Amino acid sequence: MPTKKKPALFDLNVEKILDHWGVPEAIREVIANALDEQALSGTAEPRIVKRRDGWHVTDFGRGLHYQHLTQNENPEKRRKSELVVGKFGVGLKDALATFYRRGIEVKIRTPQADITLQRAAKSNFADVKTLHAAISAPSEPKRQGTDFILRALPDADMTAARDYFLR
């Protein structure tokens, strides 16, 4: 039986977390990213559904890459700003940090990787712990788009997040 490879840890460089952000603001960022991907890639409308394993925010675009966790804003979004809604000025890694701080378990499935969150020591600094994205081989390499699974998410927080959008 093959052994499961240990996930690669990608430092999100988040030590201080946005205290004023609640879970609805973090979900807003995920939804905005899904809507932006739909607009930029011309794919189907994202789905937001509750399943046994949690709330799913799913888009059908190109799929999140771990490199997207490094930038505050995608250059493609800046070039095509008339198409996108993600203009809240805060990035995905801030949303991930908010979920972690508020006890919402996150799993991201893309064709490129599965991503979860964990605190770990910074490279070469064992006494400084920061939030990392744990990057594993994709469980669904043939999937299209990105599926954010949010466990332990109260329905009221999803409702509040949806209220940010006028669709």
pLDDT in tens, 33-92: 999 899 888 999 999 999 999 999 999 999 998 887 875 555 555 555 555 565 544 588
The count of structural domains within the chain is: 1
Tokens of 99: 């979920």
Residue 167 lies in a domain: no
Confidence of residue 1 (pLDDT cuts 50, 70, 90): very low
Tokens of 13: 């460089």
Nearest Cα residue to 46 out of 30, 35, 33: 35
Residue 14 lies in a domain: yes
What is the three-class DSSP state of 107? strand
Q: Would you state the pLDDT for residue 74?
A: 57
Residue 139 lies in a domain: yes
Provide the phi-psi class of 63: left if phi over 0, else alpha when psi is between -120 and 50, else beta. Answer: left
Q: Give the Cα separation of 102 and 4 in Å (integer).
A: 29
What is the three-class DSSP state of 71? coil
Tokens of 65: 């890459």
> Which residue in this structure is represented by tokens 């905005």?
32
Tally of CA atoms within 13 A in the half-sphere of 7 that contains its CB:
19
Residue 73 lies in a domain: yes
Residue 2 lies in a domain: no
Residue 3 lies in a domain: no
Residue 103 lies in a domain: yes
Residue 1 lies in a domain: no
> Which residue in this structure is represented by tokens 């490879």?
5
**R_g of the chain, CA atoms, integer Å:** 16
Q: Would you state the pLDDT for residue 141?
A: 96
Q: Which domain holds residue 153?
A: 8-162
Of 10-14, 114-118, 119-123, give the range with the top mean pLDDT. Answer: 114-118
The H-assigned helical ranges of 49-91 are 75-79
Helix, strand, coil % in the chain, rounded to nearest 5 = 30, 25, 45
Confidence of residue 115 (pLDDT cuts 50, 70, 90): very high
